[in-house]
Structure 1
């Protein structure tokens, strides 16, 4: 599985999302999926995934000027999000948005420190003119999310510059997205890909350590019209051909970069 630049809150189809490039310290996912084909349709019975940043064996560890992932509970990450988000302006100049989840953070060291952050924002029941202490995210048909990319650059002399790009999405009725964290949670990993849509409607469980999504397996009941039978290899005239050559071969691991 490859990491894209689209967050789960983005309504864009995954096929139209750009794959994150290697120099951005992309995250890879390796999944084992158990499926059953029943009546022409596939049913996901079990799934187990591991995700990790692109490893040093691919040369990223020695890359000068490349982005390197930071833990999401890093105090510098929280600071960079606050500084960049302070530039946000609501599209309607009325609704107050707040940070719902920090999804990614990287550091690039080239003549200073450049912090790049990605985070989800959510519309609240407050207006820009209200006091912000007790704001509650809107839900239901009024639920509205946005996604922001912020950059904070600190130079060697103590200077600081910040920029922000945000996109606010229209309400998405029936969206399954729920923010995983509120700002920063102690112990939160470098990346969190717990939710990945594989086109089956199922949610896969991914993290830096393996987590399994347990699904009760569907056991087919044999009937007269659909009996359970064993499948066997086709017999060949030449018994000297080993069975291993009759089986389809695994293509092996496919590397994108």
Structure 2
């Protein structure tokens, strides 16, 4: 599920197992606050895990949901972890431990994952993972503890989707980047009602740079996203005032390409992987997950079969 990076759970939930295995989940999940939201779970990195293989395999932490079996050259590990969502979209280059966690009333997501991986000669590799993802608080639950807090809306809510499309037009008009940007995914949608100006929909969404230069005859709607490693990305938020059918001020963070090297002239980008939500994997993930809550992105099972 694309979407946000996950992060370390709160203090009473942080364990060595969750700190390390969440990094492994990230390596297999490429969607937003995947929808594709990405999850992480603390400050220990995969690199730290790999450089302490002997310790992990011979002296596992005293956690009931952490099972280790020795194998030649390393160990096989089964672990259950709880992850919480951060405010960093998975395209954000910021390290997970620097990402702010959603507060309960801000309507983030949580996930409980069963992860299987092995550590062999300093290398950790995920064999499989299965996660149950859910809103940390449902709309029904939030009303009982915070009646004035925003309510979650489906990510495909028609009014919200149209507002996001209008916001993409606004972005391309105001930013004046070299190339047009197009929508990557809608990440987070909430609504609150005020006494003075009526319902306000708050939108968070991710954009990706396309191959169409500014001023091209074709509009950016038909443009192809650049390959993920050479594309610029943006993560934006905006309010939509439904009573007036009007967008508020657009706020965006821009992220540089992972690979800043110039793309070879004339080299076709048709071999790039499609955006996750347009890929065959997304269909398989949806079928595997079955009926889901439409207000959040989900962590897809791995491997997808």
In structure 2, relative to structure 1, the CA distance for the partners of 1:159 and 1:214 (3 Å cut) is closer
Partner of 1:213: 302
Q: Tell me: CA distance 1:100–1:36, structure 2 relative to 1, closer, same or farther (3 Å).
A: closer
1:74-153 aligned within 5 A: 74-89=157-172, 91=175, 93-111=177-195, 112-130=198-216, 131-132=218-219, 134-139=222-227, 142-153=230-241
Structure-1 residue corresponding to 2:113: 31
Per the normalisation by structure 1, the TM-score is: 0.64
CA distance in 2, matches of 1:191, 1:213: 19
Pick closer, same or farther for the CA change 1:107–1:139 going to 2, 3 Å: same
Q: In the alignment, is residue 193 of structure 1 matched against residue 298 of structure 2?
A: yes
In structure 2, relative to structure 1, the CA distance for the partners of 1:181 and 1:150 (3 Å cut) is farther
Do the aligned residues in 2 keep the contact of 1:85 with 1:164 (CA within 8 Å)? Answer: no
Q: CA deviation at 1:64?
A: 2.0
Report how many aligned residue pairs link the two structures. Answer: 194
Given the superposition, is the C-alpha separation of residues 191 and 180 from structure 1 closer, same or farther in structure 2, using an over 3 Å criterion? Answer: farther
* Contact 1:71/1:190, CA 8 A, preserved across alignment: yes
Closer/same/farther in 2, CA of residues 125 and 40 from structure 1, 3 Å limit: closer
Distance in 2 between residues matched to 1:128 and 1:102, nearest whole Å: 23
RMSD: 3.3
Unaligned runs of 5+ in 2: 1-82, 261-272
How far does residue 140 in structure 1 lie from its aligned partner after superposition?
Answer: 6.2
Structure with more helix by fraction = 2
Q: 1:83 touches 1:162 (CA, 8 Å); kept in 2?
A: no
Distance 1:140 1:159 in 2: 34
Q: Compute the TM-score of the two structures, normalised by the length of structure 2.
A: 0.55
Partner of 1:65: 148
Whether the 8 Å CA contact 2:181–2:209 is kept in 1: the answer is yes
CA pair 159-73 structure 1, distance change in 2 beyond 3 A: closer
Structure 1 residues 16-25 or 45-54, which shifts more?
A: 45-54
Deviation at 1:92, TM superposition (A): 5.1
Query: The residue matched to 2:87 in structure 1 has which SS?
Result: coil
Q: Following the alignment from structure 1 to structure 2, what is the Cα–Cα distance between the partners of residues 96 and 87?
A: 11
> Could you say if the C-alpha distance between residues 57 and 69 of structure 1 is closer, same or farther in structure 2, counting changes exceeding 3 Å?
closer
